[in-house]
Every structure is written in structure tokens, then in C-alpha cells.
Chains A and B, each alone.
Chain A
Amino acid sequence: MKNIRNFCIIAHIDHGKSTLADRLLEYTSTVSERDAQAQVLDDMDIERERGITIKSHAIQMDYELNGEQYVLNLIDTPGHVDFSYEVSRSIAACEGALLIVDSTQGIQAQTISNLYQAIEHDLHIIPVMNKMDLPNAMPEEVEDQIIDLIGCDRDEIVRASGKTGEGVDDILEAIVDKVPAPVGDNKAPLQCLIFDSVFNSFRGIIAYFKVVNGEIHKGDLVKFMATGKEYYADEIGVLRLDMEPRKVLRTGDVGYIISGIKTSKEVKVGDTITQVKGGCDARIEGFEEVKPMVFAGVYPIDSDDYEDLRASMEKLQLNDASLTFEPESSAALGFGFRCGFLGMLHMEIIQERLDREFDMNVITTVPNVPYIVHTKKGEELEVHNPSGLPEPTVVDRIDEPYIHAQIITKSEFIGQVMTLCLNKRGELQKQHYLTSDRVELNYTMPLAEIVFDFYDKLKSISKGYASFDYYSTGFKQAKLIKLDILLNGESVDALSTLIHFDNAYTLGRRMCEKLQELIPRQQFDIAIQAAIGAKIIARETVKAVRKDVTAKCYGGDISRKRKLLEKQKKGKKRMKQVGNVEVPQKAFLAVLKLD
């Protein structure tokens, strides 16, 4: 155990986590240079394309220093706030962390919030300045930021480059020298911390864990404590480039278990695995049921595909336990599902996977956060859909989820960022200059405001320089009302939103304008109205098409004309008939695309 080092990497997107990890694998000969395809750890297509890690991964390396053999376990954490709980469990499985900061960029918000978590878990932090090969590196300035943040000595900061390999040996040595070996009692009852799981179509769910206390043997009868379910450890092993089976894993080891589990719901990140016989009494601290924070309706464009959609969602859920869904029906869209996601990125990923892996063409409705409705009779209802809101007369009050947001920006953009946050109902908590031209802002804010285009706006007003992270802080009462959209006098449930009273008029007007842009002209006038209760607050009209004919069809160029009309028909087929109005897919997300 004294020769094991478990560590993770904390870095902002694109600061070079994956690249440096690849170098570590190379320098420890875990992968030969020939095998090394870029970014070994991100193995989903979506991860590679978007350059972000979605699932946690782990990989074991052997390393020799001063004649001693060491086992280094790198636990790669997801790189997005949507998955911050998984991040926290991965951090909890480690004793040390590499803090990688791009020497041309400096510290970003996401780095900070993950770093705080690591410090909270008493991880030893090894600061690394990456991309030192670049001419625009600003090592002194970034060093100042790092020192200011973690209070280390200047000479503890490793200067490195994932590109040239500079500093990689120093990093490996620092991991051995500075990161403590895991503590724990090999003789104590078994306690394994699950930090992630993956689905394998041949082998079922594979759970990744760290042995915190005790030993686990192949064939043991084990129990997953949160679910109370028992399984045989059919196979256990360590994670090298591939899975390598072992007979036994001891305290401090990081590995995997395969036990015939079929659905991801049975394997909860943060749960504890123990022996059925002589197991431990208490779970490892910090377990939480992850709760979806963003809900949206997902409907098949073609209503005949409803059952196929269900089957696809079930398959997706097999390897993504954080996805929830329940049947729902909409007057406008027919039968579909109300899905719960961890956040907006998670929602996009699911939508993309439905399309790519299952070829399902779906309409996603405007996402919303969960609300807690207190009725006058004193009941509490959790509502996941604006149209599921009880009658206003029975509602006493509505609570919505709040977050604590951390934003780091160049000081020149502070004015715009503050205006944005103010418009998003944010309340400034703390303002702190990291350096003379970088400032950290802390806000409390309703989560719902983040769901609507906050991140894109932040990026654009700060020219991409601001970074942002958040964590949930619970529910608070809010003055919310339901904004309805009517097409030719008929309310379209799928377009309803719950919004703050103060924003209702502006949003109603902009929704109407946007829909007018998105709904193509049809054979009759289409009235688009925004309403609060019975009161119409905005109106636009899509004028009827009176002319739809191209005069020219001569010169024998008939194919081109035919193809044009075929395109017209295809576009129509992708629209959803709501009453007698054809509404294109993207109109259902109009509220997200305002401006």
C-alpha cells in the first residue's frame, strides 16, 4: 500500500489535461508510442469531438523511482459542471491532485471550484503550469495566481509541456514524493467507494471503485449498500489500457468489478461495496442520490416512433443512470417523455446520442428546472413541467432551485458580467481580485436563469474569457408565473414556460418575435400570442403565403425544379402539426434562442 499513489487531474477545458495524461502514460510505458492515439482517456466519440470528458476513467501505471516500484492510479474526472457530483466522488477516491493551469491562460472558474473540493478532501496539490512551450506563456503571472490560490512555494510549481514532454518526469517524481500513500486498514471490513460505472453490452455494468478498507476477492459475495443488492464478484481487476483481472484487490487499490448487473440504476456513484459476510456497518460518507436539475419533454417527430423512443431511452439509461424519464403527453406533441438531465450539456449529449446511436428524430421542448409547489392546503408537490402546474387558485407559493455561481473574468468585462447576472436575478455575494486584472465574482442565482442561454451570453460578452461554475444551494421562494403561447388562439402546451414575473412581458414579446421568425408562412395567417392567464401580452402574425410558384420551368431543367420541391417537402415532413399549424422542430426551443 505504501507504494500506491492515487491522483486526479484538475484542469479547465483545453488546458491540457488529456494531453498531459497521455504523456504520463507514455513515460511510464503504459502505452507504447505506437499505440498512443491522441487522448487515450476520452473514448466516447462525443468526448473526443467536444474535447470534454463526460465519464470518469481510471488507468494504472507502473513507475520506478530510486529502485522502488510504484503503482500510480490516475483517475480522470469529467470536465463539466453538469457532472460535478461524479467529480466529487473521483476526488474522494484520491490522495493527490495535479492542478494543471495553462500558462497562457491562467486560472479559470472551473479549476477553482474543483480545486476547493480537492482541498476539502485533504488532497495534496501538485501545481503544474502547462503549455510552457508556447511563446505567449506568462509563467510569472500565472505562478502568482497559483501561489495566491493555494499558498505554495514558487519552486513547487512544475513547468511542463504536454507537447514537448518538458516537466513530465518532474510531475511523476512529485506524485511519488508528495502525494501520500492511501491510508486505510487492510484488515478492516471491506469498504469500496464507487466513483463511476460504465455499461458494456457483453458484460453488463462495470463499476469502478477504490478499496478504502479491507480486501476484495474474486468470487466474494458483496453488497452494494445504497441499493442493498447482493452480487457475486464474478470478476475483479485493475484498469490498465484494458481491464486486467486479479484475484484480489487490497486497501488503496483502484479497480473494477463485474457482477452481472444489467442496469446502471443499480450502481450508484458514491455508493459503498462491502462483504455480505463480515461487512462494514457504515457507508463511506458523502453519498448522494444525483437528482436531475433540468427537465424537458422529448417527443418523437413521428408519433409512430413512440415505442422505439422508449426502447432507445431505456438503452441509454443502461449506461447513464443520471438520465430519468417518465411518459408524458402533450396536446401539441402527442406522446413522449419527460426527461430529467443533470444539466444542459447532459441534455444535449442525450439528444445527440439519440440521434447518432439510435437514429431517433426527436423534438425537445424548452427545458425547465424542478419546482416545488406549496398548495394552500399545505401540500408540497414537485413539478417537472410548467403545464403540470396546479391551478393558480390552489397555489400558495412556488419554490425554485438556487445555485451558487462562481465567475472568473478579466476585469475589463466586469461591468457587462455584472449587468448580465443582474438581469438573471443574480445577487452578488463576493468579489475578489485574483490578480490586478482578473476578478472572481460569486453570485447566488436561480438555476432556471442558467438554463436559459446564460453560458453563451457570458462567453460572448467576455469574448470567451470568462469562466463559470456553480453548485446547488437548495430551493427558494420565487414570484413565478406561467407564460403561455397561443397559435391561432390555441394554447400550445409544449411552448409554455414558468418564468419570473418581472421578465414576463419582455420574454413574451421576444418569444412571439422569435416564433414569427421560425414558423414558416403557411396558407393562412397565423396569430402568435403570448398570454398570462387570460391576458394577451404580446402578438405577432405570420402572414399567409399567397404566392408559391416559380414561374420558370423551361430549358428542360426539370431535375433542378423537382429537387427544389422535394426539399420543400422534406422540410415540411420535419415539422410537427400543431392544430392546423406546421411548427418546425427548432421553434420548440425558441425561448433558448432569443436575441
Chain B
Amino acid sequence: MAGVYIHIPFCTQKCGYCDFYSIIRLKDKSEFIDALVKEIGLRAGEVDEKIKTIYFGGGTPSLLKKEELVIIFNALKEVYDFSFLEEITIEVNPDDITTEYLGDLKEIGFNRLSMGIQSFNDRILTYMNRRHGAEEAKIAVQLAKIAGFTNMSIDLIYGIPKMTDQEWKHTIDTAIELDVIHISAYHLTFEPGTPFYKNLKRNIVSEIDDKESVSQYNTLITKLTSAKFNDYEISNFCKEGFESKHNSNYWTGNSYVGLGPSAHSYTNNRRRWNVSDLKKYITNISQDKVFYETETLTEKDLYNELIMLGLRTSKGVYLNSMNNFSAIFMDEFKQIKQKNIKAKKLIEEQGYLKVRRESKFLTDQIISDFFIV
């Protein structure tokens, strides 16, 4: 069963590290919604209409008012059969959260929140140009729980220059105390085009030492494991049974339809991505012009992706799924597999091949070792 992703390309200010497509001019919001509604209609029939998950991401979807969300929802209902829906997520910003808004979200049908918090330390929040404070974030989480959003995830970031171990521990501890059931914790990356990246290139900041990265990751794992979280993917942790169904869908190679500017889709071995430009998105859709690019995956691409996505999850690559590839791929796979098992980086367990915990931080290297280029 497929997933649907909707990209809301607005933020009220840009965070220093962020390279997601969003703009801070909210003027075009209604035109955007019109275009989005039109795209939803255009894309009917692309996947099986019995969808399992819907995910509103961004940008900052919580900048949309109830009525605006309703318009989008109605458009989706026209096209998809909602009776099999299991998870409907919206990303929210802590300072958009009010009891009233939470009620609206519930009423519309959302059953899961993903809250971008990043840190429970004001100094770091300011450094990253976040628009909320630590206290506000805590209150937002509590309000959400009161409103009945038990299924809630929060995002955290580590590996931030000049963040002390103490500050990182404090952030993790706070998250645990707040008793959320899902945490996505990302190591900061310097993405081209972001203010952070520019500062890196101008030597105003430098990346933290590998050793510190590893130690912060280990702190995270240790703390979350003792708080009964499973690390089901490199950056994702949850209490038993609360894996993000929508994201898991990406990693297991299932279909998804991405709507809105910059959104990605995957259907029938074809990847598609919409333009990362709201103006073009709106004009091209209204003038019935092409507003996306596509790529059809070759056997080599599929092979590389299966390994890439599989090895990032704690379950690993399902070995039987490899049998569908041609012999040359299989031979290469077996050889690299053996080599990495011998080097104690990978382990084979119950039909799955997975990265050992000690080597998790080298996952990219291990993946690219398997790649056929």
C-alpha cells in the first residue's frame, strides 16, 4: 500500500542548517493551495487508491490554517480511498501550537504529529535561527499530549559546532522526560546553499571532530536504549510499535506519491521530483506545463538503492529480496558481503544482513562498498 506526501513550502524564517525547499513569503499561499489541489487531481490513478499513510511535511505545514488544510484534505478524498489509512502525520512547529489548533488537527483527521524541536537549549536554538525557545517547545509537547496526540515524534539535531556534551545530554534527557514515543535525531550536515555551509566555507565554523560525533551518537543510543527505545533506523528511534509507517514505506521500497514543489515520488520503478520553485510550480501547473523531472531506475539503481535503504535500517537488507537480481549483481553482492562480515562490520541474522552497532557510523562507506557504478 502506498503513501502520500504533501510538501508545504513555507516557513516564517529559515533555519541556518536547512536545505529543504521553503520560502518565507507567505503571500502565494492561496495560489499554492489551488495549484496543489490541481496536482492532486492530475495525479489520480498513479498508485493504488487504497493508501496507508499521508504525511504533510515542509517547510512548515503548521502555517496552514484549518480551512486551508481542509481544502487539501477534501481534494485528497476525491482521489484516494481513506478507509485503509493508518497514519496521517503533520509536521508542526512548536510556536504554532495552541490547544485550539491541536483540536483543529484532530478534527481534520491527523493522528500523528512530528514536531521540529531540534534542541532544548536556548543558546543552540538561537544559533540555529529557530523561531521558538526551549520552554515553548516543552509546553507544545505537553499540550499535544493533553490534546490526545500520543503518537508524536520530535526531531533533534546533534553534531552542532560548539554544542557541549552536557547540552546534548540535557536535550536527550528532556526528550525522555517528556515521554514522547518517537525521536528522530539527525547529525548536523552542512548542506550546500545553507547559511551554515557558507560559514563553513568561510572558515567561520568548522565541523566537529569525528570522535565527538561518535561520542554524541553513543550517548544518544545509550540513553535512548535504557529508556526503552528501539533504534529502528540510523536516525530514528521509537517505543515498541511506534515506528513511522510513512517513513518505513520509503525504506522498504514501497510506492509513494509526493505532491507540491520539490516533492519526490516513487512509483513503478520510476522516481519523480517536482520543481523546487514555487513560482514555476504554480505557473506550470496552471498552464498545463511540465513541472517535474523523472528518472527510471535501472537494475543497477534498484540494486544500489535496495542495499542503501536496507542497511540503514536496524532490520537490515532482506537477503531473499536480493535473489531477484541478475547473476553478476549476486556474485558481487556475495563477495562484498563476505568481506564485510569478515571485517566485522556486517552481521547476518535470520535472513537479514545488517550493520553492526559499532560500525553504524560508517554505514555510508559500507553501502558504497556494495555499490555497482
A562 interface contact, C-beta 8 A: yes
- The total number of A-B Cβ pairs within 8 Å is 105
Q: Report the Cα distance A234→B250, complex, angstroms.
A: 73
Contact, CB under 8 Å: B247 / A549: no
Residues of B close to A550: CB separation below 8 A: 187, 189, 364
The residue of chain B having its C-beta at the shortest distance from the C-beta of A573 within the complex is B373
Contact, CB under 8 Å: B362 / A523: yes
**Residue from B7, B20, B273, B308 within 8 A of A565 (CB atoms):** B308
Query: Number of A interface residues, CB 8 Å?
Result: 27
A203 interface contact, C-beta 8 A: no
Residues of B close to A573: CB separation below 8 A: 373
Q: Nearest chain B CB to A570's CB is how many angstroms away?
A: 5
Q: Which of B66-74, B119-127, B256-264, B277-285 contacts A (4 or more CB under 8 A)?
A: B256-264
B305, B365, B367 pick with most chain A CB within 10 angstroms? B365
Contact, CB under 8 Å: A552 / B186: yes
Known: A552-B189, A558-B264. A547 touches B373 (CB 8 A): no
B147-173 residues with Cβ-Cβ distance < 8 A to A are none
B7, B214, B312 pick with most chain A CB within 10 angstroms? B312
Q: Nearest chain B CB to A524's CB is how many angstroms away?
A: 11
The residue of chain B having its C-beta at the shortest distance from the C-beta of A568 within the complex is B368
A556 interface contact, C-beta 8 A: yes
B211, B265, B364 pick with most chain A CB within 10 angstroms? B364
A545 interface contact, C-beta 8 A: yes
Contact string against A for B residues 257-298, beta-carbon threshold 8 Å, 1 for contact and 0 otherwise: 010000111100001010000000000000000000001000
B76 interface contact, C-beta 8 A: no
B57 interface contact, C-beta 8 A: yes
B110 interface contact, C-beta 8 A: no
B339-373 residues with Cβ-Cβ distance < 8 A to A are 360-365, 367-369, 371, 373
The residue of chain A having its C-beta at the shortest distance from the C-beta of B3 within the complex is A556
B33 interface contact, C-beta 8 A: no
**Residue from A547, A553, A568 within 8 A of B312 (CB atoms):** A553
A546, A554, A569, A573 pick with most chain B CB within 10 angstroms? A554
Q: Report the Cα distance A572→B372, complex, angstroms.
A: 12
A49 interface contact, C-beta 8 A: no
A286 interface contact, C-beta 8 A: no
**Residue from A543, A551, A562, A568 within 8 A of B305 (CB atoms):** A562
Contact, CB under 8 Å: B304 / A549: no
Contact, CB under 8 Å: A551 / B368: no
Q: Nearest chain A CB to B54's CB is how many angstroms away?
A: 13
Known: A556-B250, A569-B368, A572-B368. A546 touches B214 (CB 8 A): yes
B309 interface contact, C-beta 8 A: yes
A561 interface contact, C-beta 8 A: yes
Q: Nearest chain A CB to B15's CB is how many angstroms away?
A: 14
Contact, CB under 8 Å: B273 / A557: yes
Q: Report the Cα distance A549→B365, complex, angstroms.
A: 7
Contact string against B for A residues 532-568, beta-carbon threshold 8 Å, 1 for contact and 0 otherwise: 0000000000011111111111111111011001101
Q: Nearest chain A CB to B190's CB is how many angstroms away?
A: 11
Residues of B close to A557: CB separation below 8 A: 264, 273
Contact, CB under 8 Å: A549 / B364: yes
Q: Report the Cα distance A572→B365, complex, angstroms.
A: 10
The residue of chain A having its C-beta at the shortest distance from the C-beta of B345 within the complex is A523
Residues of A close to B217: CB separation below 8 A: 547
Known: A559-B295, A561-B308, A562-B308. A548 touches B271 (CB 8 A): no
Q: Report the Cα distance A523→B7, complex, angstroms.
A: 38
Q: Report the Cα distance A546→B250, complex, angstroms.
A: 27
Q: Report the Cα distance A188→B301, complex, angstroms.
A: 75
Residues of A close to B100: CB separation below 8 A: none
B177 interface contact, C-beta 8 A: no
Residues of A close to B20: CB separation below 8 A: 555
B1-59 residues with Cβ-Cβ distance < 8 A to A are 5, 7, 20, 57
Known: A562-B305, A566-B304, A568-B368. A546 touches B187 (CB 8 A): no
Contact, CB under 8 Å: A565 / B304: yes
Contact string against A for B residues 220-236, beta-carbon threshold 8 Å, 1 for contact and 0 otherwise: 00000000000000110
Contact, CB under 8 Å: B264 / A556: yes
Contact string against B for A residues 350-369, beta-carbon threshold 8 Å, 1 for contact and 0 otherwise: 00000000000000000000
Residues of A close to B304: CB separation below 8 A: 562, 565-566
Contact, CB under 8 Å: A558 / B266: yes
The residue of chain B having its C-beta at the shortest distance from the C-beta of A553 within the complex is B312
Q: Report the Cα distance A559→B273, complex, angstroms.
A: 10
B301, B360, B371 pick with most chain A CB within 10 angstroms? B371
Contact string against B for A residues 44-84, beta-carbon threshold 8 Å, 1 for contact and 0 otherwise: 00000000000000000000000000000000000000000
Contact, CB under 8 Å: B371 / A566: yes
Contact, CB under 8 Å: A555 / B189: no
Contact, CB under 8 Å: A549 / B363: yes
Contact, CB under 8 Å: A556 / B256: yes
Contact, CB under 8 Å: A556 / B371: no
B202-242 residues with Cβ-Cβ distance < 8 A to A are 210-211, 213-214, 217, 234-235
Q: Report the Cα distance A564→B158, complex, angstroms.
A: 22
Q: Report the Cα distance A553→B235, complex, angstroms.
A: 9
Q: Nearest chain B CB to A521's CB is how many angstroms away?
A: 8
Contact, CB under 8 Å: A565 / B256: no
Contact, CB under 8 Å: A559 / B271: yes
A551, A568, A573 pick with most chain B CB within 10 angstroms? A551
Contact, CB under 8 Å: A556 / B363: no
Contact, CB under 8 Å: A556 / B189: no
Q: Report the Cα distance A556→B266, complex, angstroms.
A: 8
Residues of A close to B211: CB separation below 8 A: 546
Contact, CB under 8 Å: B264 / A545: no
Q: Report the Cα distance A559→B297, complex, angstroms.
A: 9
Residues of A close to B266: CB separation below 8 A: 556, 558
Contact, CB under 8 Å: B309 / A558: yes
Q: Report the Cα distance A573→B367, complex, angstroms.
A: 14
Known: A546-B210, A546-B214, A551-B234. A565 touches B271 (CB 8 A): no
**Residue from A543, A548, A562, A568 within 8 A of B362 (CB atoms):** A548
Q: Report the Cα distance A555→B260, complex, angstroms.
A: 12
Contact, CB under 8 Å: A555 / B210: no
Contact, CB under 8 Å: A558 / B189: no
Residues of A close to B256: CB separation below 8 A: 556
Residues of A close to B7: CB separation below 8 A: 555
Contact, CB under 8 Å: B265 / A551: no
The residue of chain A having its C-beta at the shortest distance from the C-beta of B263 within the complex is A556
Residues of A close to B251: CB separation below 8 A: 553
Residues of A close to B368: CB separation below 8 A: 565-566, 568-569, 572
A523, A546, A555, A568 pick with most chain B CB within 10 angstroms? A555
Contact, CB under 8 Å: A565 / B367: yes
Q: Nearest chain A CB to B11's CB is how many angstroms away?
A: 15
Q: Report the Cα distance A565→B324, complex, angstroms.
A: 23
Q: Report the Cα distance A551→B304, complex, angstroms.
A: 18
Contact, CB under 8 Å: B373 / A570: yes
Residues of A close to B362: CB separation below 8 A: 523, 545-549
Q: Nearest chain B CB to A36's CB is how many angstroms away?
A: 44
Q: Nearest chain B CB to A522's CB is how many angstroms away?
A: 9
Q: Report the Cα distance A50→B44, complex, angstroms.
A: 57
Q: Can you offer 17 A-B residue contacts whose CB atoms are under 8 A?
A: A545-B210, A547-B214, A547-B217, A547-B361, A548-B365, A549-B362, A549-B363, A550-B187, A555-B5, A555-B263, A556-B264, A556-B266, A558-B305, A565-B368, A569-B368, A572-B368, A573-B373
Question: B residues bordering A, Cβ < 8 Å?
Answer: 5, 7, 20, 57, 185-187, 189, 210-211, 213-214, 217, 234-235, 247, 250-251, 256, 258, 263-266, 271, 273, 295, 301, 304-305, 308-309, 312, 360-365, 367-369, 371, 373
Give 5 A-B pairs besides A558-B271, A566-B368 with Cβ atoms closer than 8 angstroms: A545-B362, A549-B360, A551-B187, A552-B186, A556-B266
Question: A residues bordering B, Cβ < 8 Å?
Answer: 523, 543-559, 561-562, 565-566, 568-570, 572-573
Nearest 9 Cβ contacts at the A-B interface: A556-B264, A546-B210, A551-B186, A569-B371, A569-B368, A549-B363, A547-B213, A548-B365, A551-B187
